[in-house]
Structure 1
Amino acid sequence: MEKPALPRFPSDFVWGVSTASYQIEGAVKEDGRGPSSWDAFVAEPGRVLGGDTGDVACDHYHRYPEDIRLMAELGVDAYRFSFSWSRIQPGGTGPVNPAGLGFYDKLVDGLLDAGIAPSPTLFHWDTPLELEQAGGWLNRDTAERFGEYAQIVGEHFADRIPRWITVNEPVVLTMLGYGAGIHAPGLELGFGALPAAHHLLLAHGLGVQALRAAGASNIGIANNHAVTWSASTSEEDVQAAGLYDNIANWIFADPILTGAYPQELASLLPEVPEADMVVISTPIDWYGINSYNPMLVGAPTVGEAALMDGHELDASLPFSLRELQGYPRTDFDWPVVPAAFTELLVGFKERYGKKLPPLYITENGAAINTGVDVDGRVPDQRRIDFMDAHLHALRVAMDAGVDVRGYFYWSLMDNFEWAAGFSQRFGLVHVDYETQKRTPKDSYYWYQDLIRHTQP
């Protein structure tokens, strides 16, 4: 049976790719960059698979012209990267590092010269270490410092950057960084991590206000979302799945889009000043969704630890994450369920109605760890199948009335995959970490062809 033809998208639909500073830049001690929470985390034995670090990563700091050429040949409209806060403000506050701004000047200007819209994220988890050591995102002051940082970057780049993202995936930093200890800063606070969620959302609101004051426009956020399915119809499983859904999804979307936290979480959250909610719900121009796979959740089970990205979670949590069976899986062992992508997007439209601004898919992708073959090719057909199926699922959601304006594949190139080190490859471009040689994969050429031929 032949696969259906590629779906058609509007002529102004934005095609892009995404990366993040600590995952690709390297040069962690060059040109005045200050240390970040991730520099400290990777130095702790046992934190990252294989002892890998982002010290060199993809050496994008030195090889960015080659990477811009790869994007230009790919034909993308936009590139989502992230600024390293500690490269611009080494301590997270105080003086600006001119060399740090200078690097991003060269990157932004190079992208514009290539006809690619720079679409930066202000913060993608790499907190300046001085701020982390002062309490990090458990400390309200970090949100205030973020607002100042956003003002600096906005004033410098507002005339050249047509699309902005404040914060990437506060849910992951909250749950894995402060709640479960899997990511930097490595704390295991359980529900005690929820103040970090509030401060990250406050930082987002302050960032939107600071960017606008600096003359920037077209501002959004990149939030991670996944459909939550109950492991059964039992009352215990349904309640556990509902709690997880609120903690993983709606605690991060509702405040931005409705100005209030989910009522179901009132007992878990400290008293929040009303003025904070006004800041957090500062109107945005669009809402970014990062999504990879659905989650199957049930009540805690005796003798079975909940796992996330291969790590055990606190057994005392009132829910457990179950293995979703019966679907293909990526090499990161994530289930591939395109229909859940449609369900998620349609669910956003149903939940928020007219309060929902236009959407961008700011991340979607698959870890497929195929290497370079004897002919110099990277035949990653499973990644092509993933992208094809998810773009069809996206089109179904759009046909159901969901206003999606663009799609950014994660990631442009293989990179440092956080606690998994270099073991997982999400890129359209293969990176040999010994030589830094870039090799476009079959999926790169498939995406190139899609961009050229799917628009009317």
Structure 2
Amino acid sequence: MTVQDAATVGDLAGRIRPDFTLGVAAAAFQIEGSLTADGRGPSSWDAFAEKPGAIVDGHSPAVACDHYNRTDEDIALMQDLGVDSYRFSLSWPRIQPGGKGPINQQGLDFYDRLIDKLLKAGISPMVTLFHWDTPLPLEHDGGWLNRATAERFAEYSAAAAHRFGDRVAQWVTLNEPVSVALQGYALGVHAPGRRLLFDALPAAHHQLLGHGLAVQALRAAGVAGTVGVANVHSPVRPASKRLADGLMAKASTSSSTGCTPIPSSWGSTQSRRSR
């Protein structure tokens, strides 16, 4: 973000309605760096980033924005922007390096400090539990293709809720689960880099199952705030009036806009119309 961008956002913050929440967002793997600091374990994206050509210009996530060491500076930048809310993701492998079993207290401590500093700065924290960085041991066992990952995700979510639920009122279980299934498992352009095409569908199903189990875990831990999924919607218009184009556009739109909202809202992969 440039100084000019910051000035524009700052001016906007002074003109918008008082009941409008102006926020910014980031993901742990994209900004934190410090991939081995304080007990963090490897993730699916750590491994994917090591593949030649996987990351544009060969950039390394080892430092990224160095947010792990520059938290105070980053919060000060948010204050300068005048934002009310910050959505950030917890690094699952930083909190639970093996994807199951022991919790890394140093990982929890980092997010504890971050949340407290945000609140002190007048910025409301919104926590995303999973933004694509599956612990590598789970990925070796199939990742989201394996139903057990949904159960492990619920256990990790419970640990996060018990630690942060007293200060965090807004939770996101999954960030763009369709992107994980499509780009990560079907096409292989994102981690874990698998190219399974339609055989990737279980990855979408198991993420949705993980969402439901995580919601139950959060509520059981006493979280009373909002819990949802961050979806990505890409409506597609047909290129022509040809039937084939219309059918393809409908199928593409359905995979993007219906894959997550219908099951997470209605508790079933069947639409109301088809019941």
Deviations 1:64-118 (A, max 9, x none): 1000011112111110000000000001111111110111011001001001001
Residue 87 (str. 1) matches residue 86 (str. 2): no
Residue pair 2:43, 2:135 contacting (<8 A) in 1 also: yes
Aligned to 1:122: 129
C-alpha separation between the residues in 2 aligned to 1:254 and 1:218?
A: 18
C-alpha separation between the residues in 2 aligned to 1:228 and 1:259?
A: 25
Aligned to 1:256: 264
Deviations 1:308-337 (A, max 9, x none): xxxxxxxxxxxxxxxxxxxxxxxxxxxxxx
In the superposition, relative to structure 1, how do residues 126 and 16 fare at CA in structure 2: closer, same or farther (>3 Å)? same
Deviation at 1:260, TM superposition (A): 3.0
The structure carrying a bigger helix percent of its residues is 2
Deviation at 1:218, TM superposition (A): 1.5
Residue 18 (str. 1) matches residue 25 (str. 2): yes
Aligned to 2:164: 157
Residue 166 (str. 1) matches residue 176 (str. 2): no
Residue pair 1:246, 1:262 contacting (<8 A) in 2 also: no
C-alpha separation between the residues in 1 aligned to 2:269 and 2:219?
A: 25
Aligned to 1:229: 237
> Alignment partner for residue 100 of structure 1, among 107, 125, 128?
107
Structure 1 residues 242-321: aligned runs within 5 Å: 242-261=250-269
Deviation at 1:9, TM superposition (A): 5.5
Aligned to 1:271: none
What letter matches 2:82 in structure 1?
A: G
| TM-score of the superposed pair, with normalisation by structure 2 | 0.91
What letter matches 1:252 in structure 2?
A: T
Residue aligned with 1:221, SS? strand
C-alpha separation between the residues in 2 aligned to 1:135 and 1:13?
A: 42
C-alpha separation between the residues in 2 aligned to 1:245 and 1:58?
A: 34
C-alpha separation between the residues in 2 aligned to 1:9 and 1:143?
A: 40
C-alpha separation between the residues in 1 aligned to 2:197 and 2:205?
A: 15
What letter matches 1:118 in structure 2?
A: P
Residue pair 2:23, 2:83 contacting (<8 A) in 1 also: yes
Deviation at 1:252, TM superposition (A): 1.3
Residue 208 (str. 1) matches residue 215 (str. 2): yes
Residue 59 (str. 1) matches residue 61 (str. 2): no
Structure 1 residues 379-398: aligned runs within 5 Å: none
Deviations 1:383-433 (A, max 9, x none): xxxxxxxxxxxxxxxxxxxxxxxxxxxxxxxxxxxxxxxxxxxxxxxxxxx
Residue aligned with 1:31, SS? helix
Deviations 1:135-191 (A, max 9, x none): 000000000000000000000011111211110000111000000000000000111
C-alpha separation between the residues in 2 aligned to 1:229 and 1:242?
A: 8
Which ranges in structure 2 are unaligned for 5 or more consecutive residues? 1-11
What letter matches 1:236 in structure 2?
A: A
Aligned to 1:293: none
C-alpha separation between the residues in 1 aligned to 2:245 and 2:266?
A: 27
Larger radius of gyration: 1
What letter matches 1:199 in structure 2?
A: H
Deviation at 1:53, TM superposition (A): 2.0
Deviation at 1:253, TM superposition (A): 1.2
Residue aligned with 2:259, SS? helix
| TM-score of the superposed pair, with normalisation by structure 1 | 0.55
Alignment identity in percent? 55
Tell me which stretches of 4 or more aligned residues in structure 1 moved more than 2 Å: 8-11, 258-263
Deviation at 1:14, TM superposition (A): 1.1
Residue aligned with 2:102, SS? coil
Deviation at 1:12, TM superposition (A): 1.8
Deviations 1:211-232 (A, max 9, x none): 1111112211101112211111
Structure 1 residues 24-39: aligned runs within 5 Å: 24-39=31-46
Residue aligned with 2:231, SS? strand
C-alpha separation between the residues in 2 aligned to 1:212 and 1:262?
A: 25
Residue 141 (str. 1) matches residue 148 (str. 2): yes
Deviation at 1:11, TM superposition (A): 2.6
C-alpha separation between the residues in 2 aligned to 1:213 and 1:34?
A: 27
Deviation at 1:192, TM superposition (A): 0.8
